[in-house]
Structure 1
Amino acid sequence: MTVLASALIALGALIALGGASHLLLHVFQQEHYEARRLYLWIGQATAIRLALPEAGLVFVAAVATSLAGASNDAFGIVLAVALVAMTARAARVVWTREQIKPLVFTPRARRLFGLQLTVAALVLAIVVAVGGDQEWAPAVTGAVGALLLVVAPWLLGDVVNRMLRPVQQADNRRFVRRAEQRLRDVRPLVVGITGSYGKTTTKACVTAVLDLLGPAYPTPASFNSQLGVVRAINEGLLPTHQSFVVEMGAYRTGDVKELCDLVHPRVGVLTAIGPAHLERFGSLEVTEQAKGELADAIPAEGLFVTRADDERTLRVARTRAAGRVLLFAPAAHPEADLWAEDVRLQDGRTIFTLVLRTGERAEVRARLLGEHNVANLLAAAAVGVGQGLALADVARALGRVAPPDHRLSPIVNRAAGVVVIDDSYNANPEGAAAALGVLRDHPATRRLLVTPGMVELGEREREENRRLGELAAGVADVAVLIGPRGADVRDGMLAAGASADQLHHFPDGPSAHAKVAELTRAGDVVLFENDLPDVYA
């Protein structure tokens, strides 16, 4: 009977580990399977808080089972069965939790999850076999199960991930070879787009313009890592596509070069260099070096497009671009080849005059909200002009661009009389300030801000969130703030003179969103600014 009790305790530990591993794997996947990022998240968030109670439950129940079994085998078995039921219930809660960006059980995720549980099961099986009918066996089994729960993040990030690395590398090489062959067969005009922010919106704008030359294919959603781009090529690039517009994300020096070595862009667009993902890069100098890898890759007969009004992007253009360079600016600038004049919001559109250095002009009536989107539209216009398209045709194409999801997307509830501005994708200081400008300029009876603050800003994170609060104090009539970074935004609003009565702070997204539903009334405009910190919720 002691062996059965030990086996049941081992089963309870495995079920608890399955629950904890679901959350850990979710984070690991979102962080591109980087162990360092997983461990950083653990230090800041709730993974250990999830595992430790379950570990304690396994150990305490094991000791109780061992003691009960010493005098009454049947009672010990009942306790062990109760342990399995309780851990199963806890694991089910984790598996069925609401997920903003759900865990996807890709082949890689399945391998990681399965091998982690297999390793744990083998360890526990050995403990059960060695313990046999000894009275201490259930307690020792519980202790080992509890230890496996506590070390689960490192078991996943270091042990299991390293064991599977050769398999993953072989898979990657096969997918990359297939993508390279597809590119050779189709031979599209490849446009690479990188930058600290504005990449996805600029991608949509460039695609609309290049559709004038024939079907253009953009990398879907946020497929901006090497494997994401490889997948986009293998699953979506067709012989009919004349252009391939590639969003290039970067978290470290070398990421953009790796993508360029894969797709060989002939046109490059650098949208901006700023503090987004500063936590990963460490400094703006490193960010500049990393983003400038796109300029390095453009051939002499190619085209490089970037901002004229930023010293870092201008330096990249002047020192690292071998091909033709076109520079844009949101307003007239001595270095700019094209710029915008008379920018205004009207009838749910951003309207401006597109001006070339030659004096040619065209009106753009864009569906993208906000002056900051003018830069994204200008970047696409420069690509079109660089490919020889007529300015009037480019302007009309820009007017057809729809806002990408969760990037200042207006949602109008006419029945309730409420307008929601959804800017919930990965805020950065410049983008958040621009979004507040849209909220400020939008007609409204009241203006509400909902935000968990900004992340991945390294040592500047608290400072930038307080600054966001200072800006918000002059715009928002009501603010619903979420989590520790939201508290920094609140502090900034209070410091700038906002009334405490207009500020509401909550620990998580669901409770904050419930408050928003309670607060809103006809005439309100609600800005949702960044939802990234809740992506694992």
Structure 2
Amino acid sequence: MMAKFLLILSLSFFWLARELKIALFYLYLWQLKEYHLGRFYDHFRTEKSKRLIFHPLKIAKILLFLIYICFFFFPTIAFLLNSLWLFSLLIIYGLEAVVFLKDVFRKTLKKPTLTIKTVFLGLVVISALGSGLILAKVVFPNDFQKFLLTLLVLDIFSPFLISLLVISFQPLTIIWQKSIIEKAKRKRAQFKNLVVIGITGSYGKTSTKEFLATILSQKLNVLRTKEHQNSEMGISRCVLDELNENHQVFVVEMGAYGVGGIKLLADIVKPQIGIVTGINEQHLALFGTMENLISAEGGQELIESLPKNGVVILNGNSQLVMSNFRFLALDLKSQIFCSTKEKMDIWAEDIKTEKDRLSFRIVSKDGQAANFKVNLVGRQDVENILLTAGGAKELGFTLEEIARAAERIKPDQGALKLLKGSGGVDLIDSTYSANTNGVLAALDHLKLWSGKKIIIMPCLIELGSVSIEAHRQIGKKIAEVCDLGVITTQDKFAEIKEEAVRLGMNPNNILSLEDPREIWEKIKGFCQEGNVLLLEGRVPPEILAKAQEP
């Protein structure tokens, strides 16, 4: 009797540990994907997520469930295999509990950032799972095996049940969000003289926002949206919590994952100046078509939301921007094109790129010109500075004033951060986000080093129908620049490697590795003075930590 009690107690503890881990992971994933069903679904198209669904232990549990069903029809088999069935279940849940505890102690457990919403959903999910455990014991007080079978079924379907709970509360969330948005709109409407600058695009939004806010702050009182605060809720919270009568300018980063998303943000903050940083295929899988993407994150909705005395500033280096907006008759005060390639309304020339700084000259059609020196990593930031200059000029800054203010821009405000890593290697941290243009620009920057060049990156996601071609471009650039490429996910590794090898890269130097320990063993010999290591996108955090060790 005591042995049976201990077995039930052990299995219940192991089961709860497993369910707590899976609950935290799915709450983390839903939060990471901003509770957007399309982004959540797209995540499960990746090879890593497919392996999660078809994990060997998951398959083993399904087999144990099917074997138990067979017990009803074949009592003899049940008599012979019953003990083995129980022992197998105990081993599986015991292993998962050990993994859970190991993740807790190593601080590698994936869990959501604490917010009111995640705490509420966490309590709901944990209550539901705990209720399932108690209900199973109440319904089958003396039937040990049916009790365990109930726990097994709950476990197999727990990802679906957790996601269903999250989705079921979305209507309440939407009602609450609408209330917050309406409050933000009313508050914004009180500031009649506030100048709002909206920034959207497929890439470069955050850097442009940071640069512009820093420059304008030299003469004006500026509010900017914080990191990852580019959605309707983030922007609304910024308005409600931080906007006050002392602010003269509000610089707003705007992101969206569907048609109408940027229009919604524009309706909240009412921008008079819009900046479109560039368009590529990032998030195409969510928008469905390029027309939808261009409508929202591509800037069309922002432009259409500007008043008749409004101004739009566009990146003339972006082919998609030029093809969609250059010859479009806009009912605005002016549209300003910026470029590093040709003389437009504002352009850059004499660009000199060093490892940790940029120098260039900006010229505008009105005859102004100024020399710029900024402590930023990567030529791509010249485009962002040009867009920033366009915005500052509209608020009365001269190019000379902008150039002086730009000297106050900090290196960590750019997308690439140059650090000194383990063994003296130069470490470029580009883990904030990843898109095709950003990856290619970062790889181009590696050419400034004469030593060995290494990149570690996952495959890009949410690229839709252009994913194969985008990864072929990355493979081509890796072959052109790098001595070693480590790709941490499988999704489009074949395309990257095929293109890299086709262009002459040694197949042994373009690898797919997921285990952080294997990755570190492969790259640690390269960590020495004169070499450079690029960490691009969501690489394993253990690698970032190891690479920064003295």
TM-score (norm 1): 0.86
Do the aligned partners of 1:59 and 1:142 also contact (CA within 8 Å) in 2? Answer: no
* Structure 2 Cα separation of the partners of residues 206 and 192 of structure 1: 11
Alpha-carbon offset, residue 343 of structure 1? 1.0
- 1:216-255 to 2 correspondences below 5 Å: 216-255=222-261
1:108 pairs with 2:113 = no
Give the partner amino acid of 1:327.
F
User: Which position in structure 1 is the counterpart of 2:205?
Assistant: 199
User: Which position in structure 2 is the counterpart of 1:127?
Assistant: 136
Alpha-carbon offset, residue 379 of structure 1? 0.3
* Structure 1 Cα separation of the partners of residues 291 and 88 of structure 2: 60
Going from structure 1 to structure 2, the CA distance change for 1:110 and 1:443 (only over 3 Å counts) comes to same
Of 494, 507, 514, the residue aligned with 2:514 is: 507
1:278 pairs with 2:284 = yes
Give the partner amino acid of 2:313.
V
SS of the residue aligned with 1:276? coil
User: Which position in structure 2 is the counterpart of 1:480?
Assistant: 486
* Structure 2 Cα separation of the partners of residues 140 and 518 of structure 1: 55
SS of the residue aligned with 1:365? strand
Gaps of 5+ in 2: 545-550
Alpha-carbon offset, residue 361 of structure 1? 1.1
SS of the residue aligned with 1:474? helix
User: Which position in structure 2 is the counterpart of 1:210?
Assistant: 216
Quote the sequence identity (%): 24
User: Which position in structure 1 is the counterpart of 2:547?
Assistant: none
User: Which position in structure 1 is the counterpart of 2:36?
Assistant: 34
* Structure 2 Cα separation of the partners of residues 98 and 467 of structure 1: 36
Going from structure 1 to structure 2, the CA distance change for 1:403 and 1:183 (only over 3 Å counts) comes to farther
Of 404, 407, 410, the residue aligned with 1:396 is: 404
TM-score (norm 2): 0.84
1:353 pairs with 2:361 = yes
* Structure 2 Cα separation of the partners of residues 467 and 82 of structure 1: 46
Going from structure 1 to structure 2, the CA distance change for 1:408 and 1:499 (only over 3 Å counts) comes to same
Alpha-carbon offset, residue 150 of structure 1? 2.2
Give the partner amino acid of 2:174.
Q
Do the aligned partners of 2:30 and 2:40 also contact (CA within 8 Å) in 1? Answer: yes
User: Which position in structure 2 is the counterpart of 1:371?
Assistant: 379
1:161 pairs with 2:171 = no
Alpha-carbon offset, residue 114 of structure 1? 2.1
* Structure 2 Cα separation of the partners of residues 193 and 247 of structure 1: 5
Going from structure 1 to structure 2, the CA distance change for 1:305 and 1:61 (only over 3 Å counts) comes to same
* Structure 1 Cα separation of the partners of residues 15 and 100 of structure 2: 11
Do the aligned partners of 1:350 and 1:369 also contact (CA within 8 Å) in 2? Answer: yes
* Structure 1 Cα separation of the partners of residues 177 and 483 of structure 2: 50
Equivalent pairs, count: 526
Alpha-carbon offset, residue 520 of structure 1? 1.7
* Structure 2 Cα separation of the partners of residues 12 and 303 of structure 1: 61
- The RMSD of aligned alpha carbons is 3.7
SS of the residue aligned with 2:453? strand
Do the aligned partners of 1:62 and 1:80 also contact (CA within 8 Å) in 2? Answer: no
User: Which segment drifts farther, 526-535 or 252-261?
Assistant: 526-535
Going from structure 1 to structure 2, the CA distance change for 1:108 and 1:319 (only over 3 Å counts) comes to farther
User: Which position in structure 1 is the counterpart of 2:534?
Assistant: 527
User: Which position in structure 2 is the counterpart of 1:269?
Assistant: 275
User: Which position in structure 2 is the counterpart of 1:91?
Assistant: 100
User: Which segment drifts farther, 506-515 or 26-35?
Assistant: 506-515
* Structure 2 Cα separation of the partners of residues 534 and 455 of structure 1: 19
Give the partner amino acid of 1:360.
Q
SS of the residue aligned with 1:151? helix
1:118 pairs with 2:124 = no
* Structure 2 Cα separation of the partners of residues 96 and 296 of structure 1: 52
User: Which position in structure 2 is the counterpart of 1:172?
Assistant: 177
* Structure 2 Cα separation of the partners of residues 298 and 221 of structure 1: 24
* Structure 1 Cα separation of the partners of residues 470 and 353 of structure 2: 27
Going from structure 1 to structure 2, the CA distance change for 1:468 and 1:10 (only over 3 Å counts) comes to same
User: Which segment drifts farther, 47-56 or 282-291?
Assistant: 47-56
User: Which segment drifts farther, 292-301 or 147-156?
Assistant: 147-156
For 1:260-280, what per-residue CA distance to the aligned partner results, in whole angstroms no more than 9, with x for missing partners? 111111111011111111221
Gaps of 5+ in 1: none
1:423 pairs with 2:430 = yes
User: Which segment drifts farther, 286-295 or 31-40?
Assistant: 31-40
* Structure 2 Cα separation of the partners of residues 379 and 249 of structure 1: 17
Alpha-carbon offset, residue 319 of structure 1? 4.3
